[in-house]
Structure formats: structure tokens, C-alpha cells
């Protein structure tokens, strides 16, 4: 029998969320990052796997487990498993994936699958039941990602940006630009609106550039009120991070929106991300949800 390590040396990842929300895609991301990934284990076996992975003689140093509502048929709930894991000294990172009902219905229809909680009812009933059953897990998740408007590649980027370096003691901040016309990101902890700034779309020579391009960035950030707004956002976030840390929230997602998600929000998100990166205690990622959307 090998000797147990200190559990805190291993930070297991729990990938969960709504059926059709992107759990399988998330599993592939972690596999590509060198994690040992196990899928659809009952809660008790997840705990046993954590113990095995934490042993000194274990070949596994990075562990991710995918579990969803189907595990309910076994004794013990996901919330109970997470609570017991913490009592044993583990600090599991919970990644929760979801999507809008209409998107989930389209995804199920496209693969002609039935929902695990649907039974003889319409698909929408199964989705509603699942949301209710997983609501407590969602409330305690470290990161929530809404995959409704994300392609497979965008979802991968969102996961990679959100998880950062799990071994780091730094807090992780994802700054995400988006377009309000495509819907606000439901996974954002904070949302800022930059539609008060003049829109470069209406300037012919700037229309076909994006906020990551210098001509648009220079134009947006030079507008009256832009610099003061960025200062305010950065100062607000900096002042909030200590409180988030105290509450055990190490992963924060900030949404910055304009009309289409091409120009103003992108330029401001880049600048906010750049400024936050100068803060020594933060791991900052910037992503642009709607940059390629029309």
C-alpha cells in the first residue's frame, strides 16, 4: 500500500452541468491538457478515484471527472460528494456547463436522443427537471459557461480561458467581449455596457476593422469618457477581488458588451484585460465571443 499524499496537492476537476451543454467537449479539453479524465462515475466512486489519484504511488497528477444528472440513480448526491471531498482536504474545481432551452432542444433533436429526465414527457420538461436538480451545484460552481452561442472551437477557448492555471494561487479573471444583439452572457459575474461610446461601424474606413485592430482601438479609446470608463471598471474590479477571494471565489468572468461585439466592446475588453494583467495577483484572459459573428 502506498502512502497518501496531502490531498491539497491534487486539485480534482468536476465537470458537470446540463445534458447537451458541452460536457463531452470539456472532457476533451482536459484530456488534451494531460488530465486523466473519467466519465459518468457515481458519486462514491468519484471519491474513491480522488483518493487513489492522491496516493504517492499514483501515476495520475491531474484528475478530471465528468458527471451529470444520470448519477442520481446511485446513492449520494453530487453536492454531498463535493462536500465530503472538501472535508477530506481536497479543493475540487467545479466547472458547470449550460445552454438556453431552445439551444438544448435543437442539439437533442439533431442527434435524435432523449433527455435522461424526459420519460414520456416533452423534451422541455426533462430540461426543466434537470435545471432544478442541478441548481445547487450550479450555485456553488467555480466557473459557469453558457455554450448557447459558442461553436466547438469557441467553447474550447472559453474553457481554456476560464480555467487558467489551476495550480496557480492567483485569482483568475476572464474578460469577455460580446454583442447585446446576440444576447448577454449568462455565465458572466459582472456585465459592463459600452454602447454609450460612438460606434466605429458608422465610419466607412473603420467598419471592416475590429476592436483588436489598432485603428479601431485608437478611435474607441480616444473618445470622450472612454479613458475614465476603463479607469472606473479596472478600479472597481481591483477593489472587488479581495472580497471575492475572501468568499472563496477564485474565478471571475467579466462581460463587456456593445451592439454587435465587433468594435467597442472588443477594444475596451482588450484594454481592461491589459490593465488588469498588471495586477500581480491576477491571472487574466481575454476572449471575444462574437468577434466573427455577423
Binding-site residues for GTP, in ranges, read 68-71
Annotated binding site: 68-71
214 and 256 together in one domain:
yes
| Same domain, yes or no: 150 and 198 | no
pLDDT, tens digit, for every residue of 209-262? 999 999 999 999 999 999 999 999 999 999 998 888 877 777 889 999 999 999
Contacts of 219 (CB under 8 A, 6+ apart): 200, 203, 206
Same domain, residue pair 184 and 236: yes
CATH number, domain with residue 91: 3.40.50.300
The answer to whether the beta carbons of residues 234 and 264 sit under 8 Å apart is: no
Between 173 and 73, name the one with better pLDDT.
173
pLDDT of 91 higher than 50: yes
Closest Cα to residue 237, out of 268, 183, 273? 273
What mean pLDDT, rounded, does the chain reach?
Answer: 88
Cell of 32: 488534451
Q: Which pLDDT score is estimated for 23?
A: 93
The H or E element spanning position 251 is strand 251-258
> Which residue range(s) make up the domain with 128?
13-163
Total count of domains within the chain: 2
- Indicate the pairing of strand 36-39 with strand 13-17: unpaired
Task: Out of 135, 163, 191, pick the residue that ends a domain.
Answer: 163
Number of residues that make up the chain: 294
pTM: 0.69
Amino acid at each position: 500500500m502506498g502512502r497518501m499524499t496531502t490531498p491539497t496537492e491534487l486539485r480534482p476537476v468536476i465537470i458537470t452541468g446540463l445534458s447537451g451543454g458541452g460536457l463531452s467537449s470539456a472532457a476533451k479539453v482536459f484530456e488534451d491538457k494531460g488530465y486523466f479524465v473519467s466519465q459518468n462515475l457515481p458519486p462514491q466512486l468519484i471519491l474513491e478515484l480522488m483518493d487513489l489519484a492522491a496516493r504517492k504511488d499514483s501515476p495520475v497528477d491531474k484528475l478530471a471527472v465528468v458527471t451529470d444528472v444520470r448519477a442520481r440513480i446511485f446513492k449520494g448526491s453530487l453536492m454531498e460528494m463535493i462536500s465530503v471531498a472538501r472535508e477530506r482536504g481536497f479543493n475540487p474545481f467545479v466547472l458547470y456547463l449550460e445552454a438556453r432551452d431552445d439551444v438544448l432542444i435543437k442539439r437533442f433533436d439533431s442527434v435524435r436522443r432523449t433527455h435522461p429526465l424526459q420519460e414520456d414527457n416533452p423534451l422541455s420538461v426533462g430540461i426543466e427537471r434537470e435545471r432544478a436538480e442541478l441548481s445547487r451545484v450550479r450555485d456553488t460552481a467555480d466557473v459557469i459557461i453558457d455554450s448557447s452561442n459558442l461553436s466547438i472551437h469557441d467553447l474550447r477557448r472559453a474553457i481554456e480561458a476560464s480555467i487558467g492555471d489551476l495550480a496557480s494561487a492567483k485569482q483568475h479573471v476572464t474578460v469577455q467581449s460580446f454583442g447585446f444583439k446576440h444576447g448577454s452572457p449568462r455565465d458572466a459575474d459582472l456585465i459592463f455596457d459600452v454602447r454609450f461610446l460612438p460606434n466605429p461601424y458608422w465610419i466607412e474606413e473603420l467598419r471592416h476593422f475590429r476592436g483588436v485592430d489598432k485603428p479601431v482601438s485608437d478611435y474607441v479609446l480616444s473618445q470622450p469618457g472612454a479613458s475614465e470608463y476603463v479607469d472606473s471598471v479596472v478600479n472597481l474590479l481591483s477593489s472587488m477581488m479581495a472580497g471575492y477571494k475572501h468568499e472563496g471565489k477564485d474565478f471571475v468572468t467579466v462581460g463587456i458588451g456593445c451592439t454587435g461585439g465587433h468594435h467597442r466592446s472588443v477594444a475596451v475588453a482588450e484594454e481592461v484585460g491589459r490593465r488588469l494583467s498588471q495586477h500581480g495577483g491576477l491571472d487574466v484572459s481575454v476572449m471575444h465571443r462574437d468577434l466573427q459573428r455577423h
